[in-house]
Structure 1
Amino acid sequence: MTTRLDTRPDIHRVEADLQDTLVELTDLAMQAKQAHWNVTGPRFLPLHAQLDKLATGLRTAADEVAERAAALGYAPDGRSDTVARESPLLVIPAGALTDQGVVKIMVRALDVVAKRVSMRVQHLEQLDPVSQDLLITVAHDLEKQRWLFDAQQS
């Protein structure tokens, strides 16, 4: 039996914020990897490498969020069916993807997740400063990645 570190009623909101972030980061990491495998075009090589680095960073961030949830006594749920059901992201197209198409997909997806995580940062300010600090770092990284992809749009 797991014992919660915090039994405040608002801990359920913290858990929900962490779970939603976990789902979004997991889906975004899978989308980045899917794009990594299927990108085509003149910018294949730099995008292929950038997408791989993005996917790795997102998986690391998802792991940190899940571990924070577990430290609070909440069992994080990153199962594929949960992610598919709860993610707000659009489904990435199957098959080959043009380099410019991949850039647009990544900018849109990073924008969605960065905005949602930033809203949670504000929400967590009074509820759980430790979780807030974690999500500040996640938001920073998402915004930086969005900028790096956005700079490639023509």
Structure 2
Amino acid sequence: MTVVRSTLPDEARQVTGDALQETLVDLLGLSLTGKQAHWNIVGPRFRSIHLQLDEVVSAARGFADTVAERAAALGTPPDGRPETVAARFSLPAPKDGWLRDDEVVQLMVEALDAAIGRLRSRIEATEKPDPVTQDLLISITAELEKQRWMFEAENAPRD
């Protein structure tokens, strides 16, 4: 049953819908990764990294909503169910238990790096089928790159 018809041709809708669904899973998983690290971080940089994790979680959750609504507007029902996210999430995730502050920083750099790489592929894939979605993915990538930079700067070597 089709409830919302797409303004895109079927092939373009499929490519765009897949890109949006994969991005939704990455963003929901990234927000859970950020929260898990937020709750379990320990170490001398606890407070600053704890607060920075909230920024990532907030951005990921906000973007997830925007991505899901874009998919719905194009006639592709978004799937953010826990079982879908659990089955499809493939970004680096935290280990169980307490996490040292330097481990959290490394985890977030790696998770954001992977998410950014996947987004860049989707940016390329959506260029012709749907430039509007491509623009959305570019905006998300820019913010995640900023967050990655902030985490990476946390572990910069001291001279």
Q: TM-score, normalised by structure 1?
A: 0.96
Post-superposition offset of 1:91: 3.1
**Hey, what does 2:11 align to over in structure 1?**
9
Structure 2 distance, partners of 1:99, 1:9, is: 45
Post-superposition offset of 1:92: 1.5
Does residue 90 of the first structure (1) align with residue 92 of the second (2)? yes
Moved over 4 A (4+): none
Q: TM-score, normalised by structure 2?
A: 0.93
**Hey, what does 1:139 align to over in structure 2?**
141
Structure 1 distance, partners of 2:8, 2:124, is: 20
Does residue 101 of the first structure (1) align with residue 111 of the second (2)? no
| Contact residue 24 and residue 64 of structure 2 kept, 8 A | yes
Instruction: Calculate the aligned-residue CA RMSD, in Å.
Output: 1.0
Instruction: Quote the sequence identity (%).
Output: 45
Post-superposition offset of 1:9: 1.9
Post-superposition offset of 1:2: 2.6
Gap regions ≥5 residues in structure 1? none
| Contact residue 4 and residue 73 of structure 2 kept, 8 A | no
Choose the corresponding residue for 2:40, options 34, 38, 41. Answer: 38
SS in 2 for 1:9: helix
**Hey, what does 1:26 align to over in structure 2?**
28
Choose the corresponding residue for 1:58, options 57, 60, 65. Answer: 60
Gap regions ≥5 residues in structure 2? none
SS in 1 for 2:59: helix
Q: Matched residue pairs, number?
A: 154
Question: What is the letter of the counterpart of residue 145 of structure 1?
Answer: Q
**Hey, what does 1:67 align to over in structure 2?**
69
**Hey, what does 2:126 align to over in structure 1?**
124
